[in-house]
Amino acid sequence: MVYLLDFVRRVMEEGTTLRIRVGTAAGAEGLPGWGEEVKMAVIEADYTDHQSPWPEPDNWARGARTEEDFALGAMQAIVLAHQGMVRIMPLNEERRCFQLFLPLASGAAQPAAGGATVLVIDDEPGIVQMNVLMLEHAGYSVLSAISGSEGLRLLREHGGEIGAILLDWQLPDITCQDMAAEIARISQAPLILASGFLPDSEIKRVIERYDVRFLQKPYTLNQLVKAVAAAMEGGAPRR
């Protein structure tokens, strides 16, 4: 999901908004093996059509002439690999809206306690939106922040409600080490550290010092929900 959103941002028209919602497959003909009532993550954004055809899914990298071509093809390949579908709708002669339909897995792990709250802290709004969507789909309540300072404010205000914290490794306003130290000082909630990097010595120091769980990006709905449920239960091994 994280990589998919990165490619979506490369294609989006400047000044437009990324829209993420939960919908169904109703009206989206051609989804393989999914009925109209299956819940889907629907990602929408506008882009400018430069007359470049969408690359074939099996040949998306070889046919790319520009960075946008590469992003379009990679985006389509990721969606199709997850049994989803891409739909393009014209807005006018030059602008298009694309919709990405991704089935939400029905076999995801269930929350340890109904209505438990997760605090998500990440400086990428699109990633925050996707995490909120996935966790709410699994039955959690979610608080979210796009900076370390905002996350700490929410933690102080709602500390008694928060059952787990999902923290991005790189935030613009505070180091992960300082963030983990402050979280440990004011809260007993288990901390899950998410990063697209493999754990290096710096990440490992934070994990060991603050007894943090690690979640490798990109992760699936099932991996995210299992990590959160295990953190709340205190049963997952920590790296």
Phi, psi of 165 (to 5 degrees): -125, 130
pTM of the model: 0.65
Task: Give tens-digit pLDDT for 135-191.
Answer: 887 889 999 999 999 999 999 999 889 999 999 988 999 998 999 999 999 999 999
CA end-to-end span of the chain = 23
Closest C-alpha among 128, 167, 89 to residue 1: 128
Q: What is the C-alpha to C-alpha distance for residues 184 and 212, in angstroms, rounded to an integer?
A: 10
Q: Which residue type is seen at 230?
A: A
- What pLDDT shows up at residue 59? 46
Give the pLDDT band (50/70/90) at residue 49.
low
The answer to whether 170 touches 196, Cβ cutoff 8 Å, is: no
- Domain ranges across the chain: 2-103, 117-233
- List alpha helices for 87-220, DSSP H: 125-137, 148-158, 176-186, 201-210
Cβ(119)–Cβ(160) below 8 Å: no
Fold of the CATH domain 117-233: Rossmann fold (3.40.50)
Query: Mean per-residue pLDDT for 15-25?
Result: 74
